[in-house]
Amino acid sequence: MKEQEMVRKAREVVSPFRVVKGRKFRLADHDPGDTGPLRGEDKQQATEVLAEGVQFLAGLQDKLYAQDKWAVLLIFQAMDAAGKDGVIKHVMSGVNPQGCQVASFKAPSAEDLDHDFLWRAMRELPNRGNIGIFNRSYYEETLVVRVHPEYLERQKLPPRLVTKHIWEERFEDIRNFEQYLTRNGVVVRKFFLHVSKKEQKRRFLERLENPAKNWKFSSADLAEREHWDEYQEAYEDMIRNTASKEAPWYVVPADNKWFTRVVVAGGIIETLAGLDLDYPVVGASKKKELEAARQALLAR
């Protein structure tokens, strides 16, 4: 498939799920079971589409690494069992590990809690030429911390700073942070894997009933499921307040893993293709140096 056709198809797949202005965003308007323009295609056909995308993505990443000017930060947020790990594994399977950095954010450490809420994320930002992947991110500070106020109490903030406006203030800080990154050549793309409560239940039961997947289950998953509605409200507010043209959210249907992976791959392809990536041009003096080296090698 030609490059322009691949990029066109990627844009066609992802465009219904991209949110750049979130003020009127409603999570209820997005169907977790949607399969977009691939409706009617079977899983095998989608797998072939993904394989082409992964191969194309590998070529773009190679140019990104060689050019060494842009960095790309991919953020993944989701409810438990939405498939973040699987998406990262499958979509990034063709990428050179040398040009990819992955950070998973779990409960903050004592050291993390002695700093501002963006500190630990700043330490994991990708180098120029690299793709950085955040499996969860600083957005947890507007999600799990919001659903569980006791976590906010552990952050040692001066009491007068913890007001009813704290979430709006954090959204503002995040918008400013992402604008700063954008202005410094770090391209930010954010993926919310939108799974339904019914599908999450099915996947939890599969983890319990399949011995090979028992290790994936945690009793904490069930505890968080009890807060489903609170999390949905928090995600909606998060996307509504932090989606922008420079750092859009992709609200990716996650009930069908094969389609989730196709959409994420499309979003990354669209992003890299928009950076005018190419291999560095070798000038006349460098070509002369290379030819001299070639001749030296041939003479030995």
- In one letter, which amino acid is 228? W
How does pLDDT run across 270-285, given as a tens digit for each residue? 999 999 899 998 888 8
CB 166 within 8 A of CB 172: no
Q: How far apart are CA 83 and CA 199, in angstroms?
A: 11
User: Could you tell me what percent of the chain has a pLDDT over 70?
Assistant: 98
CB 239 within 8 A of CB 191: no
Helix (H) or strand (E) holding 100: strand 100-104
Q: How far apart are CA 38 and CA 46, in angstroms?
A: 8
Q: How far apart are CA 25 and CA 32, in angstroms?
A: 15
Q: How many beta carbons lie within 10 A of that of residue 104, not counting itself?
A: 14
| 3-state secondary structure at position 256 | coil
Distances (CA, A) of 176 to 186, 209, 246, 275: 13, 45, 11, 22
Give the sheet arrangement for strand 186-194, strand by strand: 18-19, 249-253, 186-194, 71-78, 131-135, 100-104
The predicted structure's pLDDT at residue 233: 98
Please tell me which residue, 83 or 37, carries the higher pLDDT value.
Answer: 83
Specify the pTM: 0.94
How does pLDDT run across 109-145, given as a tens digit for each residue? 999 999 999 999 999 999 999 999 999 999 999 999 9
Q: How far apart are CA 210 and CA 217, in angstroms?
A: 11
CATH, domain 3-299, list 3.40.50.300, 3.30.428.10, 3.40.50.970, 3.30.420.40: 3.40.50.300
Q: How far apart are CA 292 and CA 300, in angstroms?
A: 13
